[in-house]
């Protein structure tokens, strides 16, 4: 049984993060289902959630 194609690729993630930085985004949220959300509104640093130190087991690049 062949593997299915990835929902989102590492190149897609890198491209999204690069574009978000250029736009001055506050954060980028990437969900396991392949949804990418770019938050353009600036927030105080205290409100921005820090990413976990270890990735959850369901995130695969």
Averaged over successive runs of 10 residues, the pLDDT of the chain (61 residues) comes to: 82 89 84 84 62 55 47
Measure the CA–CA gap between 43 and 6, rounded to whole angstroms.
Answer: 32
What is the reported pLDDT for 61?
47
Measure the CA–CA gap between 58 and 32, rounded to whole angstroms.
Answer: 7
What is the reported pLDDT for 40?
79
pTM above 0.75, yes or no: no
What is the reported pLDDT for 48?
60
Q: Give the residue from 27, 17, 31 showing the smallest Cα distance to 59.
A: 31
Q: Give the residue from 30, 29, 34 showing the smallest Cα distance to 48.
A: 29
């Amino acid at each position: 049984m062949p593997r299915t194609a990835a929902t989102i690729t590492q190149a897609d993630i890198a491209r999204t993060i690069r574009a978000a930085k250029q736009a001055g985004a506050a954060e980028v949220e990437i969900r396991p289902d392949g949804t990418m959300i770019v938050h353009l509104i600036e927030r105080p640093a205290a409100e921005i959630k820090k990413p976990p130190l270890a990735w959850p087991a369901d995130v695969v690049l």
